[in-house]
Amino acid sequence: MAILDSEYKILPKKAARSEDKLLLSRREAAARLSISPRSLDYLISDGVIPVRRIGSRVLIPYEHLLSFASRDYRKRLVG
């Protein structure tokens, strides 16, 4: 999708960096935490990392990732 500037020229859409986004996909969030998407799913199902649901999409607020990353989590993810 392109964006029009004030002179009606078509400008290419710039890809947003994950640091610039308010909500991240599961894959992006897992990559930011350096864990697998499945490990992230365990944290989400345990309520450790809150999510927002928009339609069928599961999105993780960036601020919750920062909060999780700033503390230790000693519980095993599986088992």
Domain boundaries, the chain: 18-69
What CATH fold (topology level) applies to the domain 18-69? Arc Repressor Mutant, subunit A (1.10.10)
Q: What is the pLDDT of residue 21?
A: 86
Q: What are the average pLDDT values for consecutive 10-residue runs of the chain, which has 79 residues?
A: 59 66 94 94 94 96 93 80
Q: What is the pLDDT of residue 64?
A: 94
Q: E strands of the chain, at which residues?
A: 3-4, 10-11, 23-25, 52-54, 57-61
Q: What is the pLDDT of residue 73?
A: 84
Q: What is the pLDDT of residue 10?
A: 66
